[in-house]
Structure 1
């Protein structure tokens, strides 16, 4: 009986030790993966700038490795989406050389110019769930900074204020003042086209419409579906960040698009991103 108990205990301790070792090994692997992945945007900035070590510890500004060119090149090379074959190796190397250039290195932070967030959301609109895009940017406010809604894109708004053109355009007769503008009654009918009676250069402020309908309860926020960041902070370059949730080191916030652009191409890209 004693031998049986001893054998059972021995088996239990061997099994437990194996299980514990396995769990420790798995936890270590997960920990290493979390260390390697770029979990937060602020961590992306630190790695882009060379301001932390491989274990995620922030360097002091007087540390010799702080923002070192060698460290930055190492980090920058792993800040790309490794599964994206559209970004060529040459483009990556040119970009890395540009931002680590000894005479004019480029660094990023929350207050950098020329970057913004695109937040894809769902709103309830007139009883129907619909996608709506918010364009967010950081602005200075008092002694600090804040995120603000800079613009929106919403399908129902895109044609809401389309002005008539050409011979079919309705208009107020040039002698309307002689009628005390009584013809406004016809022009401003509900369901009509009041935008046709505005100046030729009229551009609707859709952000104001959005804010009004939110305040009136016509638009009701439901959830954030996904988001990404767009950077025009480096002269002559554009890149975007996407959050990849993968079970490997190449995860978190990574560069998913990278283009070398001129001023004209920048304007075209902005129009595409803002759905103009």
Structure 2
């Protein structure tokens, strides 16, 4: 009898007091590679399971505890998680805070940023062009807009004698406002196309970027067809949260479940990581 009462007490203690913290440390059910960014976002905000079932029932939430589910979205091969205490602490704090918060934006892609280094050729010379993007709404349309450039080779002005006047409307039809909102899933191939065709990109650049020397030089280099993209080296996305954390997401190709789009870096409270300067002025990072 005494043994039975002891077992009953232990069971009740686990069920009543230990359910929240203990379940979050349990391993989750078998997960799957994260094949698309939208799939990552829905897991990140605790909206669906790896097999795309809505996480709306207690039974499913028990199979995928919030904390463990978030941790499964980090790159498991990142050695900093075990060798760099400050980064490990930042992850622990982030996961704890996001697990306890009901943070679900109305628009999953709102203010998402991207960094895309390209292998390029400028006037016949091999160069690296890095473009920074922001998911933007213009009217009812949504898409990627250029907000930053890292291109040291574009310091010198090109010949602007053939540049159209600011009021010219002859090329208005070929002035893209944004790139399509899913072009990141195809390594920004749409950007390769508009560069190749020599489009007038003045409206694709943010107002502040278009007024910089590198922005103006870039626009003219594209118009004069002096710049050619060869290959997209990678696509990195930066996802800001309402609480001020920012996660960087990269695609990992490997033959296990911890693959696809995963968190490769974290920016926020006491994290040793720093955002690229071209993006740091666009978002509010948790102090």
**TM-score, normalisation: structure 1:** 0.59
Equivalent residue for 1:99? 98
Q: Per the alignment, do residues 141 and 66 of structure 1 end up closer, same or farther by CA in structure 2, a change over 3 Å counting?
A: farther
Q: Name the CA distance, whole Å, in 2 between partners of 1:65 and 1:261.
A: 33
Aligned partners of 2:33 and 2:260 also within 8 Å: yes
Q: Name the CA distance, whole Å, in 2 between partners of 1:220 and 1:230.
A: 26
Q: Per the alignment, do residues 118 and 65 of structure 1 end up closer, same or farther by CA in structure 2, a change over 3 Å counting?
A: farther
Q: Residue 65 of structure 1: CA displacement?
A: 6.8
Q: Residue 105 of structure 1: CA displacement?
A: 2.3
The correspondence of residues 110-189 of structure 1 with structure 2, limited to 5 A, is 110-113=108-111, 115-157=112-154, 159-160=155-156
Q: Name the CA distance, whole Å, in 1 between partners of 2:62 and 2:236.
A: 28
Q: Name the CA distance, whole Å, in 1 between partners of 2:53 and 2:156.
A: 50
Aligned partners of 1:230 and 1:238 also within 8 Å: yes
Q: Name the CA distance, whole Å, in 2 between partners of 1:132 and 1:145.
A: 24
Which of 264, 267, 277 does residue 271 from structure 1 map onto?
277
Is structure 2 residue 79 aligned with structure 1 residue 82? no
Equivalent residue for 2:48? 52
Which of 216, 219, 224 does residue 211 from structure 1 map onto?
219
Q: Residue 136 of structure 1: CA displacement?
A: 1.2
Equivalent residue for 2:66? 72
Match of 2:235, SS?
strand
Q: Name the CA distance, whole Å, in 1 between partners of 2:43 and 2:68.
A: 9
Match of 1:152, SS?
strand
Gaps of 5+ in 2: 1-28, 82-86, 158-210, 281-287
Q: Name the CA distance, whole Å, in 1 between partners of 2:236 and 2:216.
A: 24
The CA deviation string for residues 66-85 of structure 1, in whole angstroms up to 9 with x for no partner, is: 88996432321200010112
Equivalent residue for 1:43? 39
Q: Name the CA distance, whole Å, in 2 between partners of 1:73 and 1:95.
A: 10
Aligned partners of 2:110 and 2:136 also within 8 Å: no
Q: Residue 250 of structure 1: CA displacement?
A: 1.1
Q: Name the CA distance, whole Å, in 2 between partners of 1:67 and 1:144.
A: 35
Gaps of 5+ in 1: 1-31, 162-202
Match of 2:78, SS?
coil
Q: Per the alignment, do residues 208 and 124 of structure 1 end up closer, same or farther by CA in structure 2, a change over 3 Å counting?
A: same
Greater mean alpha carbon deviation, residues 83-92 or residues 131-140: 83-92
Q: Per the alignment, do residues 105 and 210 of structure 1 end up closer, same or farther by CA in structure 2, a change over 3 Å counting?
A: same
Which of 247, 266, 284 does residue 239 from structure 1 map onto?
247
- Whichever of the two has the greater Rg, that structure is 1
Q: Name the CA distance, whole Å, in 2 between partners of 1:222 and 1:151.
A: 20
Aligned partners of 1:50 and 1:67 also within 8 Å: no
Aligned partners of 1:59 and 1:65 also within 8 Å: no
Aligned partners of 1:98 and 1:105 also within 8 Å: no
CA RMSD of aligned residues (A): 3.3
The CA deviation string for residues 192-232 of structure 1, in whole angstroms up to 9 with x for no partner, is: xxxxxxxxxxx834222211110111112222121111233
Match of 1:269, SS?
coil
Q: Name the CA distance, whole Å, in 2 between partners of 1:217 and 1:58.
A: 48
Which of 257, 266, 277 does residue 249 from structure 1 map onto?
257
Q: Name the CA distance, whole Å, in 1 between partners of 2:133 and 2:218.
A: 14
